[in-house]
Structure formats: structure tokens, C-alpha cells
Structure 1
């Protein structure tokens, strides 16, 4: 099946401008273009876009995503290098998750604080030096 840029963008949950940017950055080198320059997306392009979205969501810079796809085109001799890229990315994401877990702990603590204060009708029940807006 073939998709227009707006159909592909909707299917991927991104703006059409993001797809144009990915194309401009060389992340979609095999994407078909009609003689007038209209982009046509295939199922394979959508699979690549899924990978791009995953990598971007992990915080990977566009230059590294481009490098990954360049390595893919080079074939099997780059398997170890591609694995290393994902091992590094996994470690970065693991640290991000730890940081977000800490943030979540603080948010949950503040939610308990306010539930207790609302139930008591006052923040005065928390006379432990913890400021309401801290």
C-alpha cells in the first residue's frame, strides 16, 4: 500500500513537517517521489519511520539515527557497531527511567501530603518542616 505524506503522518502520529525534515536529513533515502516531487510512502518506509520514532523518543540525535541507517546500508560488517549503538542507548534510557522514578516518588509524596492536608482541613498537620510549596 502507498501513502501520501499526510496519510503517513497521521498513521505515524507525527506532523507532515517532521516527515519532510526526516527526508531532508537523509533518513528516508529510498522513499519514492513522483515526478512533481510528491513523496509516496510505502509500508517499508513506515517501518523505518517507526524505528526513527523509537530512536527519537529515546533521545537519540538525528545525526546518530542517520549514522545507524548508514551502517545498516553497509551490511553485516557493521552488526557489532549497530549493537553497540543500541547498548549505549539502552544505558541512557535506563538512567532516564531512574531519574523519572525519582521524580515520580516526589510527586507521589506531594499527592499524599495534599490528600492528608485536605482530609484534615489544614496543612498544619504536617509540622515536620516540609513546606507546602517545596
Structure 2
């Protein structure tokens, strides 16, 4: 699959795909006889994994380390698992923080809505009440 197809299919820019490959985040993509990148299904699964992990907030350097370990083979499974466990812990903390922020926002919105209702009632003419 050519880079344009992958870009469209996975909703990721071609520049980002090239960047990920250049920094070692995406394992080296095979090229056809003309030197054009030819993405396999395996490459697409890696891209989906990277997108998922990035959207969860994993830093690029952590993902690069994960890919490097993966490329070293099965003897690095425990190290890869530890990376994912640590990142899960950090994600859960961010989710807790976001939940607290959401609750605070909900409280403030409700407070403003209550004040708006009171202000509208105060502004009504006596014959309207």
C-alpha cells in the first residue's frame, strides 16, 4: 500500500508517517523497486498501535524504546510489559485528574445556570410573576 493510501486509510499525514519512520518509531518500511514506500498490513498495525498509544498520551521517546525492544525479540517481553504497565499507571492518573476537572466544570456550569435563572426571575416585571 502506498503512503497516500495509508495516510487516508489511517487518518494520519504522510509527513507524520515519514517522521515516525525516520526517528525509529515505525519499523523500517519496505520499498518497491522504484524506492517508494510499500506499507504492509503489519506496518499498518504498527501505525494503528502508535496512534492509539499517542492518543493515550505516551511520549514518543517511550514508544521508540518500546519499538527498539520489540525489534530485539522475545527476550525483551518483560521490559516491554513493564513499559506498558508504567504507562497504564500514568494514564489512569491523568484520567483521575480529568475526572476531577470535569466534576469541577460541571459544578461551575450548574452554579452559573442557577445564577442566570435567579437573575431572570429578579428582572421579571411584577405583573409577569
Asked if Structure 1 and Structure 2 have the same fold, meaning a TM-score greater than 0.5 normalized by the shorter chain, the answer is: yes
Q: How far off its partner does 1:16 sit?
A: 1.5
> CA contact under 8 A between 2:27 and 2:67: conserved in structure 1?
no
Q: Which residue does the alignment assign to 2:48?
A: 50
Compute the TM-score of the two structures, normalised by the length of structure 1. Answer: 0.80
1:34 Cα deviation from its structure 2 partner? 2.8
Query: What secondary structure is seen at the aligned counterpart in 2 of 1:32?
Result: coil
More helix by share: 2
Offset from partner CA, 1:56-108 (integer Å, 9 cap, x none): 12222222212111211222211111110011001100110011011101110
Distance 2:74 2:106 in 1: 47
d(CA) in 2 for partners of 1:86 and 1:29?
Answer: 19
After superposing the two structures, state which structure 1 stretch, 93-102 or 10-19, moved more: 10-19
Q: Is residue 2:55 matched to residue 1:34?
A: no
Consecutive unaligned residues in structure 1, runs of 5 or more? 125-134
Question: Aligned Cα RMSD in Å?
Answer: 1.8
Aligned match of 2:102? 104
- Residue 113 of structure 1 aligns with which residue? 111
User: Could you say which structure has the larger radius of gyration?
Assistant: 2
Residue ranges of structure 2 left out of the alignment (5+ in a row): 123-129
Superposed CA deviations along residues 15-46 of structure 1, whole A, max 9, x for unmatched, are: 21111110111233341223443222121111
Distance 2:42 2:83 in 1: 22
Task: State the match for 2:71 in structure 1.
Answer: 73
Aligned residues between the structures: 121
Which residue number corresponds to residue 95 of structure 1?
93
Provide runs of 4+ in structure 1 moved above 6 Å. none
